[in-house]
A and B are shown apart, each in its own frame.
Chain A
Amino acid sequence: MFTRRGFIRVASASVGSLALRPFGLLPAMAQSASNYRALVCVFMFGGNDSNNTIIPMDDSSFKAYTSIRGSLALTAADLTQTVYSTSNAPYAFHGKLPELASLFSSKELAVVANVGSLVQPLTRAQYQAAQVPVPVNLFSHSDQQAQWQTSIAQGNGSTGWAGRVADYVEAQKMNSSTFPVFFSVAGNALLGTGATTQPVAVAPGGSLNLLGFNSTPAQQARYDSLTSLLTTDSGLSLAQAANNILANSINDATNLSNALAKGTNLTTAFPDTTLGQQLQQVAQIIQVAGYLGMNRQIFFCSAGGFDTHGGELETHDALYPQVSQAISAFYSATQELGMADSVTTFTESDFNRTFQPATTNGSDHAWGGHHMVIGGAVAGGQIFGAFPAFELGGPNDTDTRGRWIPTTAIDQYGATLASWFGIPDSALSTIFPNFANFGSQKLAFLG
């Protein structure tokens, strides 16, 4: 079934504005609704080695870490100062993540340890004996990226968990407009593909406006010709799909540019990096969410280059400042907007990497990893879930290279976020079909 967002051709639309949906349909509110909430995904493509993102600093853990990680082990000089959880346990972040360490200290950032794709809980013995179902195509980039986005470890998920959340939001009319719930500033993302809703993708600083039209009848005729074709079924499914995407684009273009025109410049400075520019765009959209008629929005950002089979330390030194500075700037921007409690940012990545290094000064594909949740509503300064035992061939290892079997499921991570977003428990089992396999246990990182 095609899910084009009700493409309406308004015959009287002026070509200049290309308005296909009268702007007057949107609420005139200048500010976001008081119950506004946004989720912001930062996806680290390639499989972030989160073994080096945050490290437990108790003596036995750090000793095991240093010994096993060898050439990849960070020394005290490579780490931030030790930060203490609310239960007074010592941790340190990678030294290029000082802003994130600071957010942990100020209780605005929580860590979810050893989370990953699971069909159901399992032990090392069960894994090695192949006694219980495991996620399809473990350790494959494409499959594990998809499972982080679909929360369906059995594979073949055609919708993302955030897309299914968006379906619910739209079905319940939680927003006062039909502008897409899911907004990507990093291209198409399975995470936001719904069964009945489709995302909008806009490049940072980009526009969806069609260029080259003015208000003359000649140009109006050309514009009408273009739009008339978008509602025509040519009998070719792929042509139809292309029509739907362009129709959605035209539909969203005017609402977006009109709303953004109401925005004011944020005083928060964002770093001039890909992720920095993406998160700046997200902040600017959140600022004008009311003009878009949005009470609930989900955003998608991404950074690449985390597939550190070789040269890992140098790569992290280059990438981690970008992650840390962009997320920190974004949090500051939500404070500037007075919306810090209404916006929760979370990380995803393909998988964690082998605790044991490869011969090439890098690490290989693994499984459960450590993720971060940031925001004013987050129960920060805490670790949720449990770190694995740092032992090759130990109780959390699949084999002998330190590929941690997750002890918390993506489903639990996502359901906790979705629940805070406003999805009732009764709908969580539909959005996260494997959630019951984990006792429908949410995590406590969001009130």
Chain B
Amino acid sequence: MRPILCLLVLSFCAFSQQMTGRAAARFLDQATWGPTPQAIDVLEKKGITDWLEEQYGAKLSDLPDQPLLDSAGKTNQNLAPVTAAFFQNAVNGPDQLRQRVAFALSEIWVVSQTTVPSAYAFPPYWRIFRDNAFKNYRDVIKAVTLSPAMGKYLNMANNNKANPAKGTAANENYARELMQLFTLGLTELNPDGSPVLDSSHSPVPTYNQAVVTNMAKVLTGWTYPVTPGTAAKNNNPAYYFGQMYAVEAEHDTTSKAIFNGLTIPAGQTADQDLDTLIDDLMAQPTMAPFVSQQLIQHLVTSNPSPAYIQRVSEVFSSMHGALRPVVAAILTDPEARAGDVAGAAVSPGFGHLREPVLFLASMLRGLNASVGPANTLNGYSQELGQNLFVAPSVFSYFSPQYQIEGGLLGPEFQIHSTQTSADRANIVSAALYGTLDKTTTLNLTPFVDLAGNVGNLVNYIGYIFVHSGMSAVLTQAATAAAAAQSTPLAKAQAALYVVLTSSECQVIH
């Protein structure tokens, strides 16, 4: 069916369909790497409930395992095949929702090649999030904690108990960031995400330095899996397949006072201590809003209302950290869906800037791209501040608390500068007027075919890229740019350039 005819049919049949095209495209911007005509069509027919069920069971995309050594026999640090596969999966993979949730989790639980040079560490680490995206947050905590990649990154591996003779203390790195970044945050939260205040109206910290010091002891005594063909030691060298295991001789078995007045009893094994600790973490009411708010920010909006956070965190709490109902609650919440009806008001702070990977993937999907196995698309993401698997620190590419002018949250804006905003426009230009890389080709035919009628062309671009919700000024600007061109291709390119570089498209809303 020709797109424009499809549009007409849809508009006539809106009430008999489960969803409008606008609602479907909008939902796909939140739940996938971006709408395509086919994806919009499928979602319209299925409706959200059936679509979600199908996504939970969709065939898993994978990232290819990498050799340990390069051709010179040195540590293989080449992540190019992994990042290329990441983009192929994003553009073509069937498990779109799983990928988005996994990527969001990976931006909370960061491991970066800055400290973990081996490329082969990353596909197994990524699979933790892929495989647990619809399971339980507890499973994520446990799997990451015992991951040798995280063990290397935040020094959980070979973190021996204090050695008085050497004057050393247990390493505090994983202990601190497990609380600050992965589970609780710095401040106790109410279910709606607001800080718990003490009697003098000051926020209540979730822990203090003494807790960090004691938590470091809880997490002592773990080492890397044994490298095949070598003998086990108390402190094995880095090896990134499998899970870390406990060496009781290096575990601190004293009693440890941790957060919220809890104590890990003396005399437990490393594994028992870890399970007790995870039980204690899961029991903290702060975790639900802390995790829920970040997942909402990654999928739907930088500035969820307190009521939205509370609705999602109540699901997180009542379902004991089960992520499938949490993801469904985020995506089906009335606040997420409020903009589905054309002309409906959303709050001024709604939406979020596409992060670089999402900007690239959604553009490619909407432009019917074919992405080859040797693509170098991550180079563009890196230029924009999001080098896959090489976040600058455990604080990821950007902070969930980053504020834009005026005080609203805009996490992705932390890497959106005068430089990278110009770079974005230039990447759109390269995609439309040149080539992105040798293995990536776009198919502009559906747009070119409509360019005989600029109105139809601009409507169709809006249908794919702005949920049929372009403002009058964007419609006018795209129309004027297209009308000034002489060939159908030039019209399509010009209108696409104006829409894809526009803030209305860059900010999903």
Contacts and interface: CB of A to CB of B under 8 A. Distances in A.
A402 B346 CA distance: 51
Contact of B504 (A141, A234, A309): A234
Given A226-B425, A245-B421, A238 B407 contact: no
B172 A358 contact: yes
Interface stretch (A74-82, A247-255, A380-388, A426-434): A247-255
Interface residues of B, number: 86
A242 B420 CA distance: 11
A439 interface: no
Q: Max chain A CB contacts within 10 Å: which of B346, B502, B503?
A: B503
A203 B205 CA distance: 38
B38 interface: no
A221 B167 contact: no
Interface in A218-269: 218, 220-222, 224-226, 228-229, 232, 234-246, 248-250, 252-253
A365 B179 CA distance: 15
Interface string B444-485: 000000000000000000000000000101100110110111
A358 B170 contact: yes
Interface string A129-156: 0000000011111110000000000000
Interface in B364-404: 385, 392-395, 399, 401, 403-404
A221 B410 contact: no
Among B180, B209, B408, max chain A CB count under 10 A is at B209
A235 B352 CA distance: 14
B160 A359 contact: yes
Given A137-B205, A398-B209, A399-B209, A211 B426 contact: yes
Interface string B346-365: 10111111000000000000
A238 B504 contact: no
Nearest to B426: A211
A75 B422 CA distance: 49
B155 A360 contact: yes
A218 B485 contact: yes
Interface residues of A, number: 80
Contacts of B346: 236
Contact of A241 (B160, B171, B413): B413
A3 interface: yes
Residue of B163, B408, B504 contacting most chain A CB atoms (<10 Å): B504
A124 to B, nearest CB: 14
Contacts of B158: 359-360
A313 interface: no
Nearest to B429: A212
B51 interface: no
B422 A208 contact: yes
Given A228-B473, A238-B404, A239-B504, A246 B422 contact: yes
B43 interface: no
Contact of A187 (B385, B407, B471): B385
B182 to A, nearest CB: 14
B417 interface: yes
The 3 A-B residue pairs with the shortest CB-CB distance in the complex, in nearest-first order: A221-B484, A201-B417, A212-B429
11 contacts: A141-B393, A188-B413, A201-B418, A212-B429, A225-B477, A239-B351, A239-B509, A241-B406, A245-B421, A250-B422, A398-B209
